[in-house]
Chain A
């Protein structure tokens, strides 16, 4: 095993051969077999291998995009299970994006948020209300509503903005509270949002209460409707790509460095001139906006939203993803979110079905029921044995010489421009 690992990290030919082999084998078996969860998982595993190769970033991203955009959808389209894989992939993508959003708040800025799902709910409800017949009940005899599936593209942005706005509204008072109090306050906020959505059917019917909003239109573009999970898949990929790119850029920006400084020591960073409240607010707003965006996608995919999708367990699930993967580590969080969501949606149910069907194990022992136990064990285990997560965060290292060179380059540039005037 060790030899294999060292061979892997030293030889690029070995790397590329291995990945090609895995992708080829798994995708053909996925294509040919009716149902093969194993090959689907191994195919996804190739992303992780890709991450550990020593190729340049451009090649990694290119190869990753090729697998995600072309290999997976084609390989999955072979059998009748196509929509299952796509459904799982779509949900995994939604969770990854949300976990990346929460990672900004918890991982980068060190603010424990236990009510994160509230922003997801906001996004989902914003699209749900305005794009479905619910809007007509709300604005009597208005001919503009419902907006229909074409408005989805607009609402992706609107959802993000609304969530960000609520992030700020919540943040302004809440961020005066420190540390563990913040966890409780955000938890309270999450519950308040859910209870309010559950009850806003009177005096004015805004959310249709516990009955939820049905008949939400699927996204439409130039007359094409995204009806199947395999269509939504590409949408999720594009949004996810944008989110990953944005988070990466933020991480190394001035803002990102201030977040990390605050996480390590609030007082010291305040002394260095970092505006505490403003920086924290940015974290809240940005994290929330990713979640709101995914909420819109979720509503459009399910064509139905109701408050039961936004419980505390959901917030904790997203937190588990971040903690498992590694707080503050973008690749880690992606891995954590992928593992947990696939575990939840596919592996646990498959194992349960297998156990109850083939081995006749009583229902009580089925692992799908043990979700909370599993999450609890992950949280405690990670906290005690590996607080940095599966893939620990790496801080970008700056060499003084490089920085100086960059700076002088910049200076000479500005000098040049000034002299030319």
Chain B
């Protein structure tokens, strides 16, 4: 009994002792914090980290400017682990920190939707660099914005390109059964059905699998002239690789989930004749883009390759800081409230980011969101082969 008590006491002592060092204080009155929420661990951590690093770069570049206004800027990165529970719990945590005035996040719509309720309740502005799920902005939340195109724009855009430019008539759709993949594939399928294209099959695979030969055999049997894949580069790369090994040389098309340097690494030489839609134009050849890559790798090391999500993270943070600046001026150079920042961000009309122009409509969707179509040759990023504007 006594010994038990002692063990437990020491266990608890240790736990609390470690926690003591961690109780962070609120900081000075003129500290403004912006949070990021993206998966920094788990299977999509490459993308999540790109968002965080992009946002970090934008924030650090603006620190000087805000210092002149009398404010210190600080980044608080949260790891949502791609898990809704963790995302919501983090959202509560950052809501409690009154100096946090905005959030860049999330990567997964499945996390963004439940977390956005918490942001809305606490009037924290959220600018999403990645979520394409339609529902996110459909609930009329004042604090939810995104700079990327929605699935119901990306899907039809992809379909238009597939039928017009690739002359696809018989399409085989595969999706990875994740919230992202399903949303994308379903919107593609919806348009295809309206336009009376022939959908040969609508199949699902499992995230984390390595062997897609089963589904690919079905593709061989049905002889489509295009595979549309809703999912991320991890499975997409393997799927493309194994399709080529089977002698399937038909075009494969995907969404912005293919938009990663790992896609080329995984798919290898087979990546040729693979297409993807993305919301960011290819800026790697422009001086701005090369400049960005230089800054990025100087800061975070050569190991961190620049992803498209680095641009999105950078631009999302840019939009938040623009709104923040506007609200500070409006407030007579005093620290603005969360509500003021939220409304100022929604009011942003033509912010020129590095990857996209941003202006929000009444729902918080980006008016200027375009969809660009890329073709992989043998390196990342692919060659830009088409642009689709919003109708």
Q: Which A residues form the contact surface with B (CB < 8 A)?
A: 1-2, 5-6, 8-9, 34-38, 41-42, 45, 48, 52, 79-84, 87-88, 91, 195, 198-199, 201-202, 209-212, 214-215, 227-229, 302-304, 306, 308-309, 335, 339, 343, 345, 347, 349-354, 356-357, 363, 366, 368-369, 390-392
What's the minimum C-beta distance from B263 to chain A, rounded to whole angstroms? 21
10 contacts between A and B (CB under 8 A): A5-B5, A9-B2, A34-B25, A37-B23, A41-B19, A45-B12, A210-B179, A306-B110, A339-B15, A363-B49
Q: Is the CB of A38 within 8 A of B23?
A: yes
Contact partners of A349 in chain B: CB under 8 A = 78-79, 89-90, 93
Given contacts A84-B93, A210-B178, list 17 more A-B pairs with CB under 8 A: A34-B25, A45-B16, A48-B12, A84-B96, A91-B89, A201-B182, A209-B182, A211-B135, A214-B135, A303-B117, A339-B15, A349-B93, A353-B76, A366-B41, A369-B40, A369-B41, A390-B8
Q: Which B residues form the contact surface with A (CB < 8 A)?
A: 1-2, 4-9, 11-12, 15-16, 18-26, 40-41, 49, 76-79, 81-86, 88-90, 92-93, 95-98, 109-110, 113-114, 117, 121, 133, 135, 139, 177-179, 181-183, 202, 204, 206
Q: How far apart are the CA atoms of A335 and B204 in the complex, in Å? A: 42
Report whether over half of chain B's contact residues are helix, strand or loop; otherwise say mixed. helix
What's the minimum C-beta distance from B190 to chain A, rounded to whole angstroms? 13
Q: Is the CB of B96 within 8 A of A81?
A: yes
Q: A91-B89, A368-B79, A369-B41 are in contact. Are A37 and B25 (CB under 8 A)?
A: no
Q: Is the CB of B113 within 8 A of A304?
A: yes
Q: How far apart are the CA atoms of A2 and B177 in the complex, in Å? A: 57
Contact partners of B18 in chain A: CB under 8 A = 347, 351
Q: Is the CB of A214 within 8 A of B77?
A: no
Contact partners of B12 in chain A: CB under 8 A = 45, 48
Contact partners of A38 in chain B: CB under 8 A = 16, 19-20, 23
Q: Is the CB of B114 within 8 A of A210?
A: no
Contact partners of A339 in chain B: CB under 8 A = 11, 15
Q: How far apart are the CA atoms of A84 and B122 in the complex, in Å? A: 12
Residue from A5, A210, A347, A354 having most chain B Cβ neighbours under 10 A = A210
Contact partners of B21 in chain A: CB under 8 A = 351, 354
What's the minimum C-beta distance from A145 to chain B, rounded to whole angstroms? 19
Q: Is the CB of B4 within 8 A of A392?
A: yes
Contact partners of B97 in chain A: CB under 8 A = 35, 80-81
Task: Find the A residue at minimum CB distance from B8.
Answer: A390
Contact partners of A353 in chain B: CB under 8 A = 22, 24, 76-78
What's the minimum C-beta distance from A378 to chain B, rounded to whole angstroms? 11
Q: How far apart are the CA atoms of A42 and B109 in the complex, in Å? A: 36
Q: Is the CB of A42 within 8 A of B85?
A: no
What's the minimum C-beta distance from A160 to chain B, rounded to whole angstroms? 21
What's the minimum C-beta distance from A354 to chain B, rounded to whole angstroms? 4
What's the minimum C-beta distance from B162 to chain A, rounded to whole angstroms? 22
Q: Is the CB of A363 within 8 A of B40?
A: yes
Contact partners of A37 in chain B: CB under 8 A = 19, 22-23
Q: How far apart are the CA atoms of A409 and B377 in the complex, in Å? A: 90
Q: Is the CB of B22 within 8 A of A211?
A: no
Q: How far apart are the CA atoms of A356 and B49 in the complex, in Å? A: 13
Task: Find the A residue at minimum CB distance from B301.
Answer: A362
A82 contact from B1, B8, B96, B183, Cβ within 8 A: B96
What's the minimum C-beta distance from B151 to chain A, rounded to whole angstroms? 10
A87 contact from B24, B26, B89, Cβ within 8 A: B89
Q: How far apart are the CA atoms of A378 and B388 in the complex, in Å? A: 53
Q: How far apart are the CA atoms of A42 and B24 in the complex, in Å? A: 17
Q: Is the CB of A214 within 8 A of B79?
A: no
Task: Find the A residue at minimum CB distance from B12.
Answer: A45
Task: Find the B residue at minimum CB distance from A79.
Answer: B96
Residue from A79, A227, A368 having most chain B Cβ neighbours under 10 A = A368
Q: How far apart are the CA atoms of A199 and B4 in the complex, in Å? A: 48
Contact partners of A345 in chain B: CB under 8 A = 86, 89
Q: A35-B97, A38-B20, A390-B11 are in contact. Are A211 and B182 (CB under 8 A)?
A: yes
What's the minimum C-beta distance from B80 to chain A, rounded to whole angstroms? 10
Q: How far apart are the CA atoms of A215 and B206 in the complex, in Å? A: 26
